[in-house]
Structure 1
Amino acid sequence: MTFRSCNAAMRYRTIDGTCNNLHKPRDGSFKDTLLRLVPNAYEDGKSLPRFNGFDGYLLPSAGEISQKVLTNVSEPALTSLTNLHQVFGQFLAHDIVLTKTMKTSSGGNYKCCKDTGIDETLGLRGEPCYPIKWPNPVGDHGCGNFVRTVGEIDCKSHIREPINFLTAFVDGSGVYGSTKDESHSLRSFVGGKLTKSAHDLLPARGNPHDKSNCILFTENDFCFDAGKLTISAHALLPARSNPDDKSNCILFTDNDFCFDAGDKRVNEVSGLTALHIVFMRYHNLIAQQLSTMNPSLDDEILFQETRRIIVAIIQKITYHEYLPLLIGPAAMSQYGLTEPYSYNPNISPGIFSSFSAAAFRYGHSSVPNKWTNGNSRLPLGVMFQRPYYIQIANGTGYDHTMKGMLIDSSQEVDLEFNKAFQVDLFNTDAFAGNTLAAINIQRGRDFGLPSYNTFREACGLPRLNSFDNGSAQFNRLQMVYSHVDDVDLYIGGLSEDPVTDGIVGPTFACIIGQQFNNLKFGDRFWFENAQSSGFSQGQMNAIRNLTFSRVICDTAKIERIPTFAFLHENNSTNILVECSDNTETPPSMNIIRKLEPQKEDETMSYKFLRATDFEYVKLYFLYHQCYYSSVDVHKSQQNKGFIIHFLIIEDEATSKVYI
């Protein structure tokens, strides 16, 4: 694979994440492989899924673990965090990691379950299929369809590593996409704005036949598209460009459509869709302000400057508001997440396989059963893959969804899952009787993740020598595991008691903490890197002072909101504030007000030593030793000095000559 040469003076990060690290341009980029926090535990040490336990016998099936250990609860224990916290975690996960399952040679889906029964050893023979056995069938199924992820075999070690189909950086790829084609499809190319649909929602999917991850109820429904931004009244996300593509998008009415976005999972649940709309609207709001204050800037500069600001805001919310409540202040300090920023080119920003397949799937346990939407309390299963609940009543479903997430609470992170994830959503032929928990366990084995105890040891935590040494929930695991060293990372992590002032246990806090350390200090374009980000100290302070609550106020019709949106209101530390405060000059606009005049990346002054005898002299401009433009200088101007402004965006150079 070849890569373009990297320009150290680039003002903007590339869409696909390349050239963030100048010496290792592929690190953290689109289609980079996942990394290992500890060595793999593949059955053959190279690529076959983890299959056997400590004593040499088969591990319990993921289906058996899901049925016997995990509890389906209708009224689970709740946290002090709003539902918005766990939804933002899903939005963030969809910004930094996406693995895909293998396809047939014709691009179709593998069907791993046969009428003749289940062959659990398929995965051990190097097959794409690795089905899940269910001792007590869920619904009518005794076999759970499961296909291995797309991987890349290292040419030196011959070890299989899953591929990440997103950029690893916290860079708003869920808003803007991870490839140039995705990004272009989501832009309006007018005033630096993104495309949108009616009522200021996300755009419809660009391919009307693309219904992936979107189920349509009526002929007027469409799938949202994230990352595409067209302009229309009351903008929602854009619809998919192919309105007939309703795969995994359920439409209720003739007016519904599937949304589109930078990450195609945008339609999974209405809360996730709403967050995509938040940042699409905020992008367009800032782009409009920038354009008003800097009318000479063209669409490209307006888009890139706005994108730079949005990415900075997402980074701030992630590290200052979201993560401290997730892993607690001790882990924030232990893993350097509160330390001043200093770029380290020796840190790889890639995603850990243990983070992708286990630790950051903690949120599946924290999703509540019912969601407030207007005057209704809707079961999660009803809203799954249905953009209708955003589009309803001229797009006011978006506002109801945002308000509801501030009212509802996240569940505790434990071995209790809501009924939708354990039964309702997977009791269909499409999912072949699986549960979300079983899929997560099987994915960890597919990735060759070592046991839970191995990760405890790597995190400096004591190994558990018996099932009685852990929490009360950990004690339940002896119902299915014959040895403590057989416990899968995902299940072991969920069973831990939470850290102080956090919601995950110490093992997940360790993996998450190390991951986000790498994503911060291994990102050359981190917003606090003045040299690369281009932000002034005033802009950085404005970004640090901006709260997610303010962003929501600027993008939704909400009257009052807690000071910190991830926590429920109280009368002392998190009071309700009026969204109408500072309406004329929202605090968020300070970021733009402090924006310095646009500067070209490079400015050089020249003059002719003498006028020539030629009528015209042609000046040629080279970039990376390649010709890209020229200008003719008339004889009458050859006795004057001239200035050349070079502008480099995503490694593409343009120039302007002033004589």
Structure 2
Amino acid sequence: MTHTPYTRLLSALYKDGISEIRTQKSGNSLPSLRVLTTEFFSNENIVDSEHSVALSAWGQLSAHDLHLSMFQNGPSCCTDDSKPLNKEFNNCLAIVIPANDLFYSASHTECLNIKRLVNTENINCSIKPAIPINNNTAALDASFVYGSTAETNKLIREFKDGRLRVENINGRDFPPNMKNSGNRCAKNSKICMLTGDVRGNQQPLIQSLQVLFLRLHNWMVGNLKKINTHWDDEKLYQKGRLIISAIVQHITYRHYLPIILGKQYMDSFGLATVSEGYNNVYDSSLDIQISTEFVACAYRSLHSMILDEYELLDYTHSVVGTWTLSDTYDDTSIILQGDHFDQVIMGMTHQPMGKMDLNFPMSTSNLLLQKNGVGSDLAATDIGRGRDTGLKSYPHFINMVGLGYPESWEDLEETMDRDIVKRLRLFYDTVDDVDPFLGGMLENQVEGTMFGPTFLAIISEQYYLLQRGDRHYYELGDQPHSFTLEQLREIRKVTLATVFCLCGDNIQLMQQDVFRTISEDNPLTRCTEIIGDFSLKPWARK
């Protein structure tokens, strides 16, 4: 169901109890978002040598599958020449830039505007305090391919043989180029592809994955048609969609989550998949809605995995060029040039991703959606999003995940280094005022995972609900639409490497686990071996 409010794990914290941005407990304003990011984060591109860019790209794609928030309309909190206004508006936040800022001072930028998210107050909903609205289906259901509304679904379908609409460019299938599709694209972009999610053109990694899964759907329904010649368009489309959704869930729970959450924690939290048979974990009492703490705080920590520059690899797996994130926001036309589509895909499997740490590269910390060399600050927006959505302060988060409420600054030393706690004291009046995104990012990581204890618990809880509360979860065997054991066996053969091999233009070599970089234990393998004996024969019907 779309256009529904997110849920809350904690009660809201607004100044007026409804929607106004909170202050510190003393009544003083909260610290400048930009000052916090320059004090606690840096711009280095430090990489995680074990894990590939494909892992970070899948994290962003899964976020697009689960939630979509729209921005409020209204005046900006900054003047046209990027100066702070003397008055406040309830539809925006201002990132006030100090005069000595090492980047923005050169362009005399003193203010960056953050649009607040549409919430229940904006749509005359009686729910108070205000809570933001999710415009996507709150399920891991490949909505980035199929859309979350009937209107989008109608636009993307061909209504012939179960296929999705494509535009053939130089003998290759891509989503249709539709400037007026409603998708977010740069004004000067030569192409704006119609995808199930409006953010499908956000940058080349996301756009490549969008194209791959569109092609995978059409490959599936084409082969289903061969073995079930009597199936009509609707039957082919729905069966193809069900298989693709299952593959997205399988890749996420079997291959992605064990890396970011850790296999041991997955097992202890009951998130593990099974290798054979059914996994009947459905609980009808659970609500799979997305929590505000997940979407506006914990899952945003994955932004640390982003890099400034990304590799292009040729078919010998040699680096033949690069593309820069700050130059390709909402303009993904690079993937249409020559062999760049495959080169982007092979690059994301070869290149180590940004390490999950306190580094946010220039492309996101100073050049986000840049124009003329000046952009916004994503990390500052991440902190500000918590204020926008009325999230409680960091100590409440610690207490929520069972670590006890920190009564003093010294109590924070249980989750983060002492020198960091000392620096926090310079910016906040009390420990009760610390922003939750900043606090969670500063925590020491739990061994074997990519997160500190607070974000680890919030993200795990969300994926637990998405697994246990979804009657369409792919491993279930007690539902009317459940796969047969033979069908489930085929789905379990699919990895993201399978998708790359099947749906790239001409990819011949790939490592089995594309979320991990190439190594002796994860060598390049022929695509014929990766695809193996995957078959749709279990879907044949007489």
Q: TM-score, normalised by structure 2?
A: 0.89
- Number of the residue aligned with 2:13: 41
2:394 counterpart residue number? 452
Alignment partner of 1:419 out of 345, 350, 362: 362
Query: Cα RMSD between the aligned structures?
Result: 2.5
2:59 pairs with one of 76, 83, 89: 89
- The reply to whether residue 534 of structure 1 matches residue 516 of structure 2 is no
Structure 2: which 5+ runs fail to align? Answer: 274-278, 314-319
Distance 1:400 1:337 in 2: 34
Distance in 2, matches of 1:318 and 1:172, equals: 11
Residue in 1 that maps onto 2:322: 377
The equivalences for 1:429-508 within 5 A come to: 434-464=376-406, 465-466=408-409, 468-472=413-417, 474-475=420-421, 476-508=423-455
Picking from 133, 139, 142, the partner of 2:110 is 142
| Equivalent residue letter for 1:239 | N
DSSP 3-state at the match of 1:71: coil
1:146-165 alignment, distance < 5 Å:
146-153=114-121, 158-165=128-135
Which residue of structure 2 lines up, in the alignment, with residue 404 of structure 1? Answer: 347
Secondary structure of 1:304's aligned partner: helix
Q: Secondary structure at the match of 1:362?
A: helix
Q: 2:145: which partner in 1?
A: 175
Partner of 1:559: 508
**Aligned-partner SS, 1:258:** coil
Runs (5+) with no aligned partner, structure 1: 1-28, 105-109, 201-232, 599-659
CA 316–474 in structure 1, closer or farther in 2 if over 3 Å, else same: farther
- How many Å apart are 1:62 and its aligned residue? 1.3
Structure 1 or 2, whichever has the larger Rg, is: 1
Q: Which moved more, 1:341-350 or 1:511-520?
A: 341-350
Matched, 1:324 2:258: yes
Is the Cα–Cα contact under 8 Å of residues 139 and 470 in structure 2 kept in the other structure? yes
User: What is the alpha-carbon distance in structure 2 between the residues aligned to residue 449 and residue 158 of structure 1?
Assistant: 14
**Alpha-carbon shift at residue 116 of structure 1 (Å):** 10
Question: Cα distance 1:329–1:36, how it changes in 2: closer, same or farther (>3 A)?
Answer: same
The percent identity for this pair of structures is 29
Counterpart CA distance in 2 for 1:439 and 1:539 is 44
The residue number in structure 2 matching 1:266 is 200
* CA distance 1:447–1:43, change in 2 (3 Å): same
Q: CA deviation at 1:329?
A: 2.0
Give the structure with the higher percent strand. Answer: 1
Residue number in structure 1 paired with 2:316:
none
What SS class does the counterpart of residue 266 from structure 1 fall into? Answer: coil
Tell me the secondary structure at the aligned position of residue 322 of structure 2. Answer: strand
Once residues 114 and 434 of structure 2 are traced to their aligned partners in structure 1, the CA distance between those partners, rounded to angstroms, is 20
Question: TM-score scaled by structure 1?
Answer: 0.74
Deviation string, structure 1 residues 235-281 (Cα, Å, up to 9, x no partner)? 02221154999852543xxxx41112011111111011011111111
Contact 1:366/1:412, CA 8 A, preserved across alignment: yes
Change (3 A) 1:294 1:280: same
Secondary structure of 2:460 counterpart: helix
C-alpha separation in 2, matches of 1:93 and 1:594: 31
Equivalent of residue 286 in structure 1, options 198, 216, 220: 220
Alpha-carbon offset, residue 501 of structure 1: 2.3
Other-structure match for 1:72: 43
- CA change 1:399–1:258 in 2 (3 A) is same
Pick the aligned partner of 2:3 from 12, 21, 31. 31
Q: CA separation in 1, counterparts of 2:56 and 2:82?
A: 41
Q: Which amino acid in 2 is paired with 1:436?
A: L
Shift of 1:433: 5.4
Q: Which residue in the other structure is 2:96 paired with?
A: 133
Please tell me whether the aligned partners of residues 102 and 148 of structure 1 are also in contact (alpha carbons under 8 angstroms). yes
Identify which of 366, 370, 376 aligns with 2:305. Answer: 366
Secondary structure, aligned partner of 1:341: coil
In the alignment, does 2:467 pair up with 1:520? yes
Q: Secondary structure at the match of 1:135?
A: coil
How far the C-alpha of 1:83 sits from its partner, in A, is 0.3
| Mapping of residues 103-252 of structure 1, within 5 Å | 103-104=73-74, 110-114=75-79, 118-119=84-85, 122-123=88-89, 127-136=90-99, 138=104, 139-153=107-121, 158-199=128-169, 233-240=171-178, 242=180, 247-248=185-186, 250-251=188-189
1:387 partner letter? T
Structure 1 counterpart SS, 2:192:
strand
May I ask how many residue pairs the two structures share in their alignment?
516
Aligned position for 2:276: none
Counterpart CA distance in 1 for 2:429 and 2:302 is 27
By relative contact order (CA 8 Å, sep 6+), the higher-ranking structure is: 2
C-alpha displacement at 1:283, in angstroms? 0.4
- Give the match's secondary structure for 1:551: helix
